[in-house]
Chain A
Amino acid sequence: MIRLRINGLEREVEIPHPMYRLLDVLREDIGLTGAKEGCGEGECGACAVLLNGVLVNSCLIPASQVDEADILTPEGLAETEAGKLLAKCFTECHGAQCGFCTPGMMMAAAELLFTNRKPTEVEIREALAGNICRCTGYDMIIDAVQLATERGANIW
């Protein structure tokens, strides 16, 4: 049994295996499918969540290792002012095509803006470098984060 604070709610989860992954806890046990399994090797960023406020790939984390941690998933982000703004900016800039990478992109963008309120384009590209978009709509995604930077001056 492990305890996690997921999107502000205390959850207790019975894990079937000591190396059961955080991604599987979120998707299979809690039913939060915003974080996705793309590569399963930490290369694509589709499974990104914030672990104690820090961006991580949840496919590479044994849930038992992060017992008692605070997790923010794309669903939790979506409920916040920051998440709503990011969603609006991604929509306006056509930053989502098939949408598979979008939750991870938004988690990476949110972590960037929480720690750097006025990132340059280079810093945005660096922050999103671990998130792969197979539709290759990168420029629109960068535009969306730039728009969110401008509009969210009072949020970040």
Chain B
Amino acid sequence: MVEVFKPTSLAEALRIRADKHAIPFAGGTDLMVRFRARDGMAPSFKSPILFVDALPEFNTIRMFNGGLKIGASLPLSILAGDRGAVNGGTGTGATSGVVPDAAVLATIPGVLKAAAAEVGAPALRNRATIGGNLANASPAGDSIAALYALSAEIILVSLSGERMIPIEKFILGPGEISLKEDEIIHTIHIPAPLPDWTYWRKVGTRRANALTKISLAAAASIKDGRVESCSFAFGAVGPRVIRVHEIESLLQSRFPVVQEAKLKEIIAEAKKFASSMITPIDDQRSTAKYRKTVALNLIGDAIASLVEELKLGD
């Protein structure tokens, strides 16, 4: 029978992780399905379980040097704004009842909030966590695409200390992450500056519980009516989320744009860059052709939205 651990401190959790190589378990919405047995039976886990949801440091969200630090066990419902400080925020993914600060919740970038809000359905988001979404490392993971757009860094902890790694290096492939056997995903760091404009669009078969066919997450910092920095990240069109850096430098060098004709030209150029980089496949959810067509159309939609934002800033 599988061993189960409920550490009461981070130090204890790290020791158990190192000694037993136990699987960190927070909301369990992926793990309980992956190791599911038959109806009416307990799931059959192969390795020991380490419950990390009740540790307060995994459940906090706070400002850090103008950016954000998000605990790995924070439920997606809090990031999505389904519930927050208003409702007490208690007993969410965790049973620890940590109440997030409303002022901090208000700084969550729109792209992450919107992506979290489109994962599963309310009951699932109350348990599903951002760290779990990362650990699952699906190319269609919605919060992952948003975190790519926000250039997030993942903070991993072990008995030997802390390791910070950019999300592009953390996700190695479908279901594969750079996590050593003694490490636990501790915090997601969204570095400053938090973006002035963000874009999120998920295409799926229905509103709830739909896995993504294709998604686009984008963010930009705007200064004096110009794009200072920006990011465009596509989900579910390759083995990992794909950031198209050529679009980013294109927009940084070419904006502001006023004439419609010029805008069309820029969108066409952006589509050309994306077209060579994204490599969707045919699967049970969609076809490569559909995914590519929609991905390219989303670029036009996102750039139009960015242009609106630049106009408003004038």
Contacts and interface: CB of A to CB of B under 8 A. Distances in A.
A19 B43 contact: yes
B122 interface: yes
B270 to A, nearest CB: 33
A34 interface: no
A60 interface: yes
Interface string B112-142: 0000000011111011000000000000000
B209 A43 contact: yes
Interface in A88-128: 108, 111, 115, 125-127
B92 interface: yes
B33 A45 contact: no
Given A19-B49, A41-B36, A65-B51, A126 B122 contact: yes
A55 B33 CA distance: 18
A42 B53 contact: no
Centre residue among B25, B83, B127 by max chain A CB count within 10 A:
B127
Contacts of B121: 45, 129-131
Contact of B122 (A61, A66, A70, A127): A127
Contact of A55 (B27, B42, B45, B123): B123
B90 interface: yes
B207 interface: yes
Looking at chain B's contact residues, the main secondary structure is loop
B208 interface: yes
B181 to A, nearest CB: 21
Interface size class of chain B, counting residues whose CB lies under 8 Å from the partner chain = 35 or more
A52 interface: yes
Contacts of A125: 207
A45 B28 CA distance: 16
A106 to B, nearest CB: 13
A26 B191 CA distance: 44
Given A43-B209, A61-B127, A18 B91 contact: no
B40 interface: yes
B40 A28 contact: yes
A51 interface: yes
Contacts of A37: 39-40
Interface string A50-92: 0111111101111011101110000000000000000000000
B228 to A, nearest CB: 35
Centre residue among B4, B6, B40, B121 by max chain A CB count within 10 A:
B121
Contacts of A19: 2, 4, 42-43, 45, 49
A21 B42 contact: yes
B29 interface: yes
A130 B33 CA distance: 16
Given A24-B42, A60-B29, A52 B95 contact: yes
B87 interface: yes
Interface string A1-36: 000000000000000111111001000100000000
12 contacts: A18-B42, A19-B49, A24-B40, A24-B42, A37-B40, A57-B29, A59-B32, A60-B28, A62-B49, A64-B4, A111-B122, A130-B208
A-B residue pairs, 3 tightest by C-beta = A52-B91, A130-B121, A129-B208
